[in-house]
Amino acid sequence: MANAAHADPVLRMLDANANRAREALRIMEDVARFVLDDRELSQAMKDLRHELSSVIRELGVDDAMLLSARDTPGDVGTTNTNSGEANRPTLAAVVASAAGRFAEAIRTIEECAKLLRPDVAAWKRAEQCRYAGYELDRRLRLRLGHAGRRQWRLCVLLTESLCTHSTWWRVAEAAVAGGADCLQLREKLVDDHELLARARALVEFARPHGVAVVVNDRADIALAAGADGVHVGQADLSVAAVRAIAGWRLLIGVSTSNIEQARRARDDGADVCGVGPMFVSSTKANPALSGVEYLRQYLAEPGVGAIPHLAISGINHTNIASLVATGCRGVAVSSLVCSSEDAESECRRLMQAMAGTPE
């Protein structure tokens, strides 16, 4: 073994950082396993922990050597602390902290490997572990999504042309009074100046009520208006592209019509998925219905079913019961509420149906 004079302090460094790296990976693994219900990602964390142990064994160091070098009571660093250590407001913050500790620890292990056995490739394996950790951190934190991610019960899509009995603004007020917890501004024929003005007005009105505001398609308008989120379709900017633009400033929703699209949304870090089309819609022509069977697939898919969803298309007071029976936790409607003579009552009835309460 090279540099024998440094063996004891180097072994202490190796021991401390191996423990730190394994602890960090275990936190990340548990979040993937218990929070995201993601078997693949949690297995990848576990595999990396085992690879790390293998790297250390390749150095000719076993547990007895590490335990013999350990001196926790004499470690001058055990009482070092800073105020940021207690600041973990979200699971994402917990994961970010764990991932940072892993990256720092594995780099120290890599350098220790060069000291102990510069003649073997263990330090290169440690380097690859570090790169693998970076990728797992990326995947895990994207899948956790926005800290404000939540399951809405009723989202009303506001389109002025569908509001046949009152203005779009009156429909928005009625929807909130009726219990809707999300309003989505969906206007494709309004110019940018007017769209931004409407979005800002909705945010100012809805936020004191605890109601989210989402802008359809336009991440730029959503950001400028201070909206809660943006919703994109399969032909719009991808979730990954929007996240690159908006960071964590916006919740990102995406329309999905099959389980492959839902898996991609999961991997890209979507905060909510539109799940549909469920039924024939009077608002837009749909080439094919995904139906309740797709909702059932969505809810059963590991790592996907935990993502908030909104079943959409053709939902009314008659067919909503089939969605609730399948496990649906949220719905999005448009013309049913926008074209109603009593939008508030329509929303109340939908909320009752979602709660399983008889009318």
Backbone angles phi and psi of 194, in degrees to 5: -70, -40
User: Which one is catalytic: 186, 198, 243, 348?
Assistant: 186
Structure tokens at 104: 């720092």
Answer for the pair 323, 155: CB distance below 8 angstroms, yes or no.
Answer: no
Is 349 an annotated catalytic residue? no
Structure tokens at 117: 């056995």
Closest to 304 (Cα-Cα) out of 259, 358, 340: 259
Burial class (CB in 10 A: 0-12, 13-18, 19+), 159: buried
SS3 of 242-265: HHHHHCCCCEEEEEECCHHHHHHH
Is 114 an annotated catalytic residue? no
SS3 content of the chain, % helix, strand, coil (to 5): 55, 10, 35
User: Which one is catalytic: 42, 141, 218, 255?
Assistant: 255
Answer for the pair 250, 228: CB distance below 8 angstroms, yes or no.
Answer: yes
Answer for the pair 17, 285: CB distance below 8 angstroms, yes or no.
Answer: no
Is 46 an annotated catalytic residue? no
- Residues with catalytic function: 186, 255, 284
